[in-house]
Structure 1
Amino acid sequence: MTISSDPKQVKQICFDNINVPDMNTLAVAQKHGAYTFLSTVLKEFSPSKIIDEMKTSGLRGRGGAGFPTGLKWSFVPRNTGKPTYLLCNADEGEPGTFKDRDIMRFDPHLLIEGMIMAGFALDVKDAYIYVRGEFVHEVNVMNAAIKEAYAANLLGENILGSDYSMNLTVHRGAGAYVCGEETALIESLEGKPGRPRFKPPFPAIEGFYGCPTVVNNVETLATVPAILELGGAWHAAIGIPNNAGCKIFSVSGHVNKPGNYEVPMGTSLKTLIEDYCGGLQHGTVPKVIIPGGSSTPWLLGEHYDTPLTYDDLMKAGSFLGSGAIIVMDETADLVAFTRRLTHFYAHESCGQCTPCREGTGWLERVITRVENGQGTQEDVIVLGDAATHMAGRTICALAEGAAAPVLSLLKHFPEDVQACLGENA
């Protein structure tokens, strides 16, 4: 491990070696510390010790929900007579998010090592990486890395001479956005249409093929090796209380240097955008900031100093989500942007729930009329009414995500909508 043992010095965890040439190969990865602590974990740690360290670390799921990882692992029942499964959610379909694919293509062995350690803690014999169907290159890199890991006895039977064995398989999905939801992912992995399940039962109790299952995001699992080697308390000292560690933010839009940036939790939006992303392309303060992917409510320029934490963003009226920050300045056409998002959500709805199946179509059709100058005041009322009645009335949060940009547009920029109505205003 090349990361500093002094938490005050840590700026990156998952991206610590992301720019090392050929880090995707086992030889180079091992030169930079990959798998050095794995044998110690397998031979000297107990599953309960690993879970305790994860609880102490304060790591919260990096896929969007932000649920405490150690607590999630502790929910898995033992001695049920059924196998336990570990599923890595690498679907990454949230518009604006592009961080997990960088871990997979540039440092795949970090993810593999994290999955082995997590699998050992949960007594998993078979683990899967569910990858978005479009990620052909990432799948090829992951499969090559897994092949190397098997050849080096880092996967398979009796890993590194221990009593622990685990198999790891990459599964390509069909590119459905909804399969980023953990139960839809499970349905798809079982060979069925990717549609969310009712909960409870939760996957930890009854998941993949009715067995105890843990679903974790790529970034979450890639953080595990550093936590176990350097300690849960070490990780908890990075960031701020209840928001420990570092987080990768995918920044896009009207910034001079869009890209992925891993920073300690609690870093402000302003610091991230100005110090890391080179500031705005036009102007000095954003018109709109979407902090957690397209499905999260919009923030305004007045929120520019908000710390990037689960709690502070919720107080500001939005969510950290997947960490996909979309920045827009005064040049943005917000009606056109919202229409594009409604098209996406209408296309991606699985159709299982009526409010989502019908509501997303309504939103797209009505806002398309508004954008084209054919809308009326009644259309504006319908947009708000449909979006309001979709949210919170479906099995998963897709409808809520579809409603968020529409409600944000109507709330914060009604003048932009009125301008499109023209003579019909």
Structure 2
Amino acid sequence: MENRTYTADAEPGERVTVAGWVHELRDLGGIAFLILRDKTGKIQVKFAKDEMDDDLVEAGTSVSRESVVTVVGTVEEEPRAPTGVEVVPESVEVVAPADPELPLDPSGKVDAELPTRLDNRTLDLRRDEAKAIFEIRAEILRAVREYFREVGATEINTPKIVATGTEGGTELFPITYFGEEAFMNQSPQLFKQLMVGSGLERVFEIGPIFRAEEHNTPRHLNEATSIDFESAFIDHREAMDVCEGAVRAAYEAVDENCREQLELLGLADEFEAPEGAFPRLSYGEAIERVNATGELDEQLVWGDDLSTEAEKALGRDVGGHYFVTDWPSEIKPFYIKDHDDDEALSTGFDLMHPRMELVSGGQREHRYDELVAGFEQQGLDPDAFEYYTKMFRYGMPPHAGFGLGAERLLMTVLGLENIREAVLFPRDRQRLSP
């Protein structure tokens, strides 16, 4: 809109055109106020009824909340106004009227259940608190991208429609692709490995992944955003260094650049970036520490995965972010390299927040024969992945990397109770619209 002034930029003495939504109407008899809201904040529009044209007063005071309006007028200083200024209008145009009956209250005075909010996400994000979450999400992704660039990685985009699943199994969404069966990709894993064998060497991607999981919990989604990194000529330890750096970059950016949003969410006083190096516990040490807490009904034994209860018990014991390393080879994917001196142990690692797992990573198997053998050991057909395996015959360097769940990162950074609060339009077993 030509000559539009954002509400946050309105200064006393200026003649402005402000545009946005009707946040609230207050009629005090001889005087009325329209509170106009845009992306930068709110501003008060004053209607002195005895001093203004009746049509102007009618236009500004009969409009329903959440209607889109344009107001032309003069900004005056008013210490009693919420922002210290108000607009004395010359004209009010109702650009798009809103139905008087709203499915939820964008002012936040009346709470709405999460399903109602998700069903009406556009209205929901007119609330300052909901908007703040996604402003923070954007800042996290910006900071992570910048960090990856600083460590020399090139951003890539890999296919989301594939002929075979990254890890096989039942967690695949099949689709019909010109009469043939195809799948929505579970992960960019295989493609980013192919790129470390190219001239790019070090790459990252932030993009959607799809998993047909049966879980329907506050921390599972069927479409999520994965933050992936992969690099040639590094091992799993160096990959953990990069992983820790990326998470720190996210926290530090929020701490530095999102104080207003943290204030809206009630987190400004308690929010802080992690301090000190993230502990690195071997899988064996993790099992011992979980068992020592005495919080599980049954003791874990070697080869068990860490259940949700085990993760929470260990998280409370550690008290911050930590890595679990040296997982048993049998419970890690085929592309994870085993330790050279102990084939029973893999180089796989997970980064854990006290509440949940955030990252899965490791050093990858770069030797062709060993890679093919890994497929066969896990019951997968190497021929179905020939596009991937054949490149390992043409000089694939040692490499390592990880995948970080963007929504889980945001969920733990802000202490959100449900991962769906971190997604604009969640996809889970019950939700395919909007």
TM bracket, shorter-chain basis? under 0.3
Richer in strand (by share):
2
Higher relative contact order (CA 8 A, sep 6+): 1
Greater share of residues in helix? 1
- Give TM-score scaled by structure 2 length: 0.23
**Which has the higher Rg, Structure 1 or Structure 2?**
2
